[in-house]
Chains A and B, each alone.
Chain A
Amino acid sequence: MVGLRTLVVQCTDWSITAAGVSPQVPAAVFHANRVTATSPAAREHGVALHQRRREAQSRCPSLLVIAGDPARDARAFEPIVASLDALTPRVEITRPGEVAFPTRGPSRFFGGDEGLVSRTHAIVSEVLGERGRARVGVADGIFAATLAAEIARWTAVVPVGGTPAFLAPLPAATLDRPELVDVLGRLGVGTLGALAALPERDLLARFGKPGQAAWRLAAGLDERPPALGPPPADLTVSTVLDPPADTVAPAAFLARGLAEELHDRLWRRGSACTRVVIGAETEHGEHLERVWRAEGILTAAAIADRLRWQLDGWLQGSARHRPTSGISRLWLTPEEIVPAGGPQLGFWGSDIATVDRASRAVARVQGLLGMESVAVPEWRGSRDPATQVVLVSAAAVDLTAARPEAHRDRVVGPWPGRLPTPSPAWVHGDPPGAEVVDAAGDVVLVSGRGALSAPPWRVSVAGGPWAEVLHWAGPWPLEEWGWDTARRRRRARLQVVTTDGQARLFALELGRWRVEATYD
């Protein structure tokens, strides 16, 4: 079954355009401190995707930094989608900046694929004006059509039946599956053509469902075998808004519940949806509908996001596109449903809903106490328990992504002088002063050769009462930054257990004792 002939429109660098920045300005959009989109001018300076902000700014000091905002991208995209309504009623939004629709009807009407493509390009370019550029591609199946659009300068039409030949020379990396592509590369399968030449059964046997899906894409077929029929009608969920909403906030409040209801209803049947129709009815009886599709499965949170973005696009658009009255009813209809598989779980096996919940709570606390108030631990190579794990502001990391920095195995290499395990449960950021004296009442000192002047007898922390030493070990000399006179530190550490059962780590530096850590 050859993929459904599809047209894909891509607005290049959409996040930049949506932010209202001209392509001539070096600008980049950031999410969690990483570049997610760049303007052509920024690329000329060497700014690339996934770079850290500091690196991007060092490549291009005049770089305009824009905070990522999917809602803004979606809102700005609505007029473009609306302009395509003149061509076909079935426009599907893949993501803000990219739409697709089947060409069968409109192609015949506009005199073939070429005619449709140039017409589509003209319409989108007119709406975009000077703000950005659009590319259009047509091929059998959405995967090939997207690639055709990506490769095209303006437009590209892959002839009917020519999709496998068009895909064959492309690198396998165009499949958005890094793990699979990596393995295939090591097996000598470097292009989509080489992948398509393998027997489908073998890929299914060796790599399971993802392998089969990759083969289908490479062979120019649809990713999944087509559904046997449209999903049953009773899966639509809807809600009535009373009073009707003409701002986003009250409607967005309902979005979450509606999305979860749909997701639950599908989940109970063992299904999930990959394409959803978002519909709304206004007080004046206007009927608004948009189709959103996803490459994978739409989770409850993903559906809620799309619903909110769409409402944003409808209600905050220009006066010409806006409905004339408030929205009184909202509904969600799954258009394409598939058996629910495993991909609901995050990369490292956690439930996405829990991460979402935690990130929302983090955002709220950041609102209450300031952005820097919430931090997450990350491993660093170091000798000090205080700097072996450092706290990094949660605003700079993406909690929903896998974070290798949070794993101990990230630290490689030996760090001689590191404390033996178990590690102290309290590490004092501002170590309190202490006194360590010997039986004669003199302060215990450590010689240049690392020998104690006398065994410690009793200790006092921060001017507190004396406590007698029960056991002790040390001194462990520690010299850091020996090559840098300004940062050079010499310390000697002592583990001490006092008669009351408390264990502490004392450190002598420049003739003064401090409590570095407590084994609470």
Chain B
Amino acid sequence: MLLGMGSEAVPSTLAELTERIRPVTLTAERRLPVLPAFATLLPGAGLRRGATVSVGSAVGVGGGTSLALALVAEASQTGCWVAAVGLASLGFVAADEMGVALERLVVVTAPTRDAWGGVVAALIDGFDLIILPADRVGARPAEARRLAARARERGVVLLLVGVGWPEGADLQLEVSRARWEGLDNGHGHLRARKVRIIRGGRGEAASPRRADFWLPGPDGKVQEVALAPVRSLRSLR
């Protein structure tokens, strides 16, 4: 059969075959990298491209914004472009300290209510990660669904800060407890914060998990808090 084919048909057949036997993209390749500290917290040790991620904190606890910045840091360092919409009072110094590359961060002023959908859709075409306040876009469930679908198709991560996203996000992270260290009635200054993060979500993130982190630690880095260390072996004697 093969011998019967015209010789000019062979290269195109070969090209076709190459296409067919090419390995499919592994799920792990479709992830944006995150700080090593989050490796065990996030499924696949990364942010799945096309996922919606909600980041928040329990009422009165705080820490959601820092967590959002820490999540995008590694991807931003490795060349991804990040857009923040409607978050003009973001602390950019804090973003830099968390490791976000400011030269690949673009800030868009909050659009009017009607323009949100169009603006986020335009950003989805050009950026790898988009940070937005959940309640502003989520006001219209149909719009939210449309944007999530578009992000999934283009492989863009939508990071929703706060509550108010009508759909359950694919990955849900919540700071449930936060404790600051460094202040001492008039002395010292804020140095480090220990937070407990609860993970929930759908699909691969469905099984709940929780872990304690330094956000940031005394050295300014985000790290998973190790289990209570043994203070001293001598006391055991």
Contacts and interface: CB of A to CB of B under 8 A. Distances in A.
B102 A425 contact: no
Interface string B127-140: 11000000000000
Interface class of chain A by DSSP: mixed
Contact of B189 (A348, A355, A427, A473): A473
Interface stretch (B37-45, B60-68, B203-211): B60-68
B23 to A, nearest CB: 17
A425 B61 contact: no
Interface stretch (B27-35, B174-182, B225-233): B174-182
A422 B61 contact: no
B184 A369 contact: no
Contacts of A388: 92-93
Interface in B42-73: 57, 60-66, 69
A354 B95 CA distance: 21
A36 B42 CA distance: 48
Contacts of B62: 501-503, 518-520
B102 A406 contact: yes
Contacts of B65: 425-426, 520
A455 B178 contact: no
B126 A357 contact: yes
B64 to A, nearest CB: 6
B20 to A, nearest CB: 17
Given A365-B119, A495-B189, A376 B106 contact: yes
Contact of B122 (A368, A391, A519): A368
Interface string B193-211: 1000000000000000000
B141 interface: no
A422 B97 contact: yes
A422 B123 contact: no
Contacts of B126: 357-362, 364
B97 A423 contact: yes
Nearest to B87: A426
A369 B96 contact: no
B91 A424 contact: yes
Contacts of A362: 106, 126
A365 B132 CA distance: 15
B60 A519 contact: no
Q: At the interface, is chain B mostly helix, strand, loop or mixed?
A: mixed
B93 A423 contact: yes
A407 B103 contact: yes
Nearest to A360: B126
A423 B91 contact: yes
Interface in B61-110: 61-66, 69, 79-81, 83, 88-97, 101-109
A374 B108 contact: yes
A474 interface: yes
Interface in A5-41: none
A427 B89 contact: yes
Contact of B96 (A360, A389, A473, A495): A389
A299 B132 CA distance: 33
B149 interface: no
A275 B117 CA distance: 42
A351 interface: yes
B192 to A, nearest CB: 8
A490 interface: no
Given A357-B126, A361-B126, A520-B66, A425 B190 contact: no
A350 B104 contact: yes
B36 interface: no
A372 B188 CA distance: 41
A391 B102 contact: no
Contacts of B107: 374-377, 391
Nearest to B181: A471
A196 to B, nearest CB: 39
Interface string A483-511: 00000000000010100111100000000
Nearest to A375: B107
Interface of B: 57, 60-66, 69, 79-81, 83, 88-97, 101-109, 111, 115, 118-119, 122-123, 125-128, 177-180, 182-193, 216, 220
Given A385-B93, A407-B102, A407-B103, 18 more contacts: A351-B79, A354-B79, A357-B125, A361-B125, A361-B126, A362-B106, A364-B122, A368-B115, A369-B108, A369-B119, A375-B107, A406-B102, A406-B103, A424-B91, A497-B183, A503-B62, A519-B62, A519-B190
Top 5 A-B pairs ranked by shortest CB distance?
A361-B126, A471-B183, A406-B103, A389-B92, A500-B60
